[in-house]
Structures are given as C-alpha cells and as structure tokens.
Copies of this chain bind each other. A is one copy, B any other.
C-alpha cells in the first residue's frame, strides 16, 4: 500500500497530487474542540485502507466552523501523531482573505502537499473580477514558490462559482502555483472542459458519481466525503483504471450504491454516526452547530441503507 501511494501521490511528473482522497471528518471533544488523537487515528486508518491522500479541513471536516487557531492546531496535532501531512490537502479558505493567508502559510510550514482553497464566501453575486482579485491577493501575499493551490469550487455551499474564465486567468497568471481543483459543483461537463482546456491541471471531482467519468478523461482522482467510509472501494476503481485502463464494474457499482446510501443523509453528521458505530465510540458523533446530530430514526435509516450494500468497513487499526 505504501508503494502504491508513492506511485500515485509522488510519481507523476506534473507534481500534482493524485488518487483517492477522503474529505476527512473532524472528530470533536465534548467541548466541541477538535480531537486530534481521534482524528489522527482516523487518518491512519484511511491511509491504510484505500486513501492515497487526505482532504482534511474541508466542508465535510467542518473547517469553516473552526477558528484560525483551531485549524492550525489540527495540523499540528496530526503531525505530532505521525500523520504524513505531505499526503494532505488541508482546506485554508475563509471568509476573510487574511485568514486564508495565515492558514496557508502555516500549512506550508507544516509540509502539506498543497492546500484546498475556497474563495471568500460571505458575499454572494460577486463577479469574476472579484474572485480573481481575491485569489491573486492571497497568492501574492503568501509569495512562496512552494505554494500549490487546489481551487475549491462548491457554489452550492460557498455561494461563489469558480468559472472557467476565472480558472483560466488564475492558471495563466500563476502557473505552477494554481495546479488543480476540487470541483463539488456536480457539473461533470465543466470538469471535462477543465481537463480539456487546462493541460496538467489536476481535476478532483467531489463526488463518486463523477469519479470514473472524469478519471477516464484524465482526472487526477477524487476527494469525497463518502470516502471516509468507502475509500477501499474507490481505490479499487481508481487502481483498475490507472494500472490497467480497466473498469472494475463490481467496485464501481458498489461505490455508486454506497454513495447513494450515504448522501441521502446529512453528510458530516451521518458519516460521523457511521464512524461512531464502527469504532464503538459514541463521542465520534459530535458536530459543531449549525450542523446537528441525526435523530435516532434517521440514524437507523442510514445504517440500514449502508448495511443493505455488501460493503463492510475495514477493521480498526490495532
């Protein structure tokens, strides 16, 4: 598995990240502070079970619900626990660009593989010039040739669309720095157009439903919430294609079934409930408001939907 990860994550001459990434959950203490130990265990379990890399502190990981200090503390806690941050793509986007600058500088100091960057997300209805200006301001203030930015397009949540025009301007102005995207828009046509128009640009769908289609077209992999549970299945799909240009139909069918079961419920709360059950650890369920716990009926319904597939989660690490 280690060799396989190296091949995927490091072996590509474009130097961009590749493979299956979980949008990693952030477990919480009872006071709602991030639990670095539980999270490090989860990261190691994911890396041992299908994940090539870790999309930590994204939407599924509740990043924007944490302060700058808490977000930096998570990276430090994971590093202290031995999680290889070079395989991680932490989210560093914030409503205020100085926060993104601070978080990104810190992430670079910690040796991450790149950062996943939301645009400032409070103001809605902003135009391409404003989105470009925000990214430009951030990148130039950081001013570090080691910076690798993966744009994070999730207009349904951020309220800000990263248009093809903005991506073209950013990759043109900052080649070697703006190197990829996680696209959670669900617009497969748009992802295929990016692969076509921006050579070497690493396109990660944010959903299993787009994964294989985009991978076949030259996509870099996927970064998905469901991979907290289903990464071993996603890895079967990924490896079959990357190594042999073959489609593992069984794995693909199971992956789509698992995604359908999981995404019918609130994502972070549902996935945390699944982890709590699997690890026998009720504390895993906690979320930060405005997110809420699943009620018992909903939780049972989610568990039933996942159990109806043939999939069983890999055992806990020793």
Contact = CB atoms under 8 A, between A and B. Distances in A.
Interface in A34-89: 59, 64-68, 70
A130 B64 contact: no
A130 B289 CA distance: 5
Contact of A99 (B67, B123, B131, B291): B67
Nearest to A159: B159
**Secondary structure type dominating chain A contacts:** loop
Contacts of A123: 64-65, 157, 290-291
A59 B126 CA distance: 14
A64 to B, nearest CB: 4
Given A65-B96, A96-B66, A159-B159, A292 B124 contact: no
A95 interface: yes
A174 to B, nearest CB: 15
Given A124-B156, A157-B122, A157-B124, A65 B291 contact: no
Contacts of A124: 156-157, 159
Nearest to A138: B289
A169 B123 CA distance: 28
A129 B66 CA distance: 19
Contact of A290 (B66, B98, B102, B133): B133
